[in-house]
Structure 1
């Protein structure tokens, strides 16, 4: 019964966020300067901060907006844009000035590369160098958090089946395909760095009858209930992993491409105020996997707004002062 109530709460939170996240937003509380810089560090800078429509991006967009406002920038919010291509096009066409992008998305989606790079530092360097040279987009310091694809199951299945790594999942899929039933969104099932690549890298092939194509957001509830699948594709920093007590399998062959978030900014904006880099650097450094999972969970599981979550965290860290 407790898990059922949690699933219902998560669904309601998702609907709520879908309805209220688009368009310009104002911070839940006013913030002033803290450890990120003096109140006039970015005085005279006027920027449009963008972001995608899912929870983590809504939080990151608001964190950035409040941080920049605290040091004197004039900020227009364009949080909640639909899809990676949309927000990237907004950046390259000067409709927004900066937003958080993921190194894996930059490499595969925006730069069109098909060969994954497993080392996070190597990937960041490759993406940053190419995007700056070809598109005049600068990637600021990356976060240690890695919102990559991951495979998860509920705790009961993990303990009953003895599966804690993807190699152990592959062995289960070969031995008992029904017990290894799998849920994923259509995109993951088709991508070379998704399901086809996982099967090739780990040496198994799950029969199609044991796979279910569902919307990405539905996977979490499906895995938590074990219906219609015991395992599924999740994103590593999603707050629902902890909220639903899911177990994330170790990618012991290091197959999945790293997806470290970093602020991407147009070169001309950074040239106008180079201090922007140092203002946002401490925020990037503080965002590890556990922190992002916690921030995302406050929205998805606890029903808080991204604006309030951002204010609370920035204040707790001393990055800004409330009021």
Structure 2
């Protein structure tokens, strides 16, 4: 969601052939704690979500609960990249999307310095985006940010649970796998090392790898510490231990819904609907749901509906 490659590919897609997301159907469900609203009957709402596992699950969640609530939903999950979704929201092609506060602040609005308080970060991105006709609702606890992970057995041997533990390790143990973009970001590798009292000369081997390869390389012991995203389903599948960012270096990427302000003004009940959903979405929840898709091969839409049913938000016959 935050890589330069995605941004470049998206820009090419949008500029060369227009915005052409792959739309999906909306799985049928019945009301649960999410009730049907007469005020939403037939109201057209288009949900845009990005083209990776977590966003496919979330886009389908939003589509299902909005249709249960009575809206006439178009599901544009699988829209190419962050900036594809952003363009859809700015142009009015879509009017609801699942989004991350850090993505809005850093990628869309161009700020270099994140705000470390989750409520402060949400309020700042919401306030600035109101000028674009978009409102950010109060976010969930889920924070899909950068982190470092170690295989569980090695973490146990070294006694590491948080990033500040790294400073006491021998140089030979300080081996890292990182993606090339992360290595050069102002919220990336070297500033992180500085925050935790380390520098490159103090490290052992540092290997640049593609993001997806880092997980298996870390699990296989090619490096002790691999750069990961905190809600990636491969973390539990590969028995990796995520280290606590105890000095709060990494930006906050809390999940919420971005809603066209015009739509929200006309239908303030949307705040009530999403207010039932958001508090339930934690990192542990998202890890488990992502793993069902990435590791078990399940369909994102079915995973989304199953969880909504389990939580009592919707029901099925």
Q: Could you tell me how far 1:41 is from its partner in structure 2?
A: 4.7
Q: Does 1:225 align with 2:220?
A: yes
Give the paired residue count: 296
Per-residue CA distance 1:66-110 (angstroms, 9 max, x = gap):
000111111111112222122112111112111111111111111
Per-residue CA distance 1:156-201 (angstroms, 9 max, x = gap):
21122222211122433xx31x422111222211211111220121
Which of residues 49, 52, 67 is equivalent to 1:51?
A: 49
Structure 1 residues 28-39: aligned runs within 5 Å: 29-38=27-36
Task: State how far apart, in whole Å, the 2-side matches of 1:41 and 1:169 are.
Answer: 55
Task: State how far apart, in whole Å, the 2-side matches of 1:71 and 1:122 are.
Answer: 30
Please say if residues 26 and 307 of structure 1, whose CA atoms lie closer than 8 Å, have aligned partners that are also in contact. Answer: no
Equivalent residue number for residue 311 of structure 1? 305
Which structure has the higher relative contact order (CA within 8 Å, separation 6+)? Answer: 1
Which of residues 64, 68, 80 is equivalent to 2:78?
A: 80
Equivalent residue number for residue 126 of structure 1? 124
Task: State how far apart, in whole Å, the 1-side matches of 2:224 and 2:43 are.
Answer: 50
Q: Does 1:92 align with 2:87?
A: no
User: Mind listing any 5+ residue stretches in structure 2 that lack a counterpart?
Assistant: 1-20
Equivalent residue number for residue 141 of structure 1? 138
Per-residue CA distance 1:195-252 (angstroms, 9 max, x = gap):
122012112123587222222122111111112x221111111221111110011111
Please say if residues 122 and 138 of structure 2, whose CA atoms lie closer than 8 Å, have aligned partners that are also in contact. Answer: no
Equivalent residue number for residue 161 of structure 1? 158
Equivalent residue number for residue 183 of structure 1? 177
Structure 1 residues 210-249: aligned runs within 5 Å: 210-227=205-222, 229-249=223-243
TM-score, with structure 1 as normaliser: 0.87
SS across alignment from 2:200: coil
Regions of 4+ moved over 6 Å: none
Equivalent residue number for residue 168 of structure 2? 171
Which of residues 268, 274, 277 is equivalent to 1:283?
A: 277
Equivalent residue number for residue 300 of structure 1? 294
SS across alignment from 1:284: helix
Equivalent residue number for residue 17 of structure 1? none
- Residues 184-193 or 303-312, more deviating: 184-193
Which of residues 110, 115, 137 is equivalent to 2:113?
A: 115
Equivalent residue number for residue 253 of structure 2? 259
SS across alignment from 2:298: coil
Q: Does 1:25 align with 2:20?
A: no
- Provide closer, same or farther for how the CA distance between residues 81 and 209 of structure 1 changes in structure 2, counting only shifts above 3 A: farther
Please say if residues 152 and 247 of structure 1, whose CA atoms lie closer than 8 Å, have aligned partners that are also in contact. Answer: yes
Task: State how far apart, in whole Å, the 2-side matches of 1:83 and 1:209 are.
Answer: 35
Q: Could you tell me how far 1:153 is from its partner in structure 2?
A: 0.6
Task: State how far apart, in whole Å, the 2-side matches of 1:88 and 1:300 are.
Answer: 25
Per-residue CA distance 1:29-63 (angstroms, 9 max, x = gap):
52122211225352121111111112111110000
- Residues 212-221 or 253-262, more deviating: 212-221
Task: State how far apart, in whole Å, the 2-side matches of 1:24 and 1:235 are.
Answer: 26
TM-score, with structure 2 as normaliser: 0.89
Calculate the aligned-residue CA RMSD, in Å: 1.7
User: Mind listing any 5+ residue stretches in structure 1 that lack a counterpart?
Assistant: 1-21
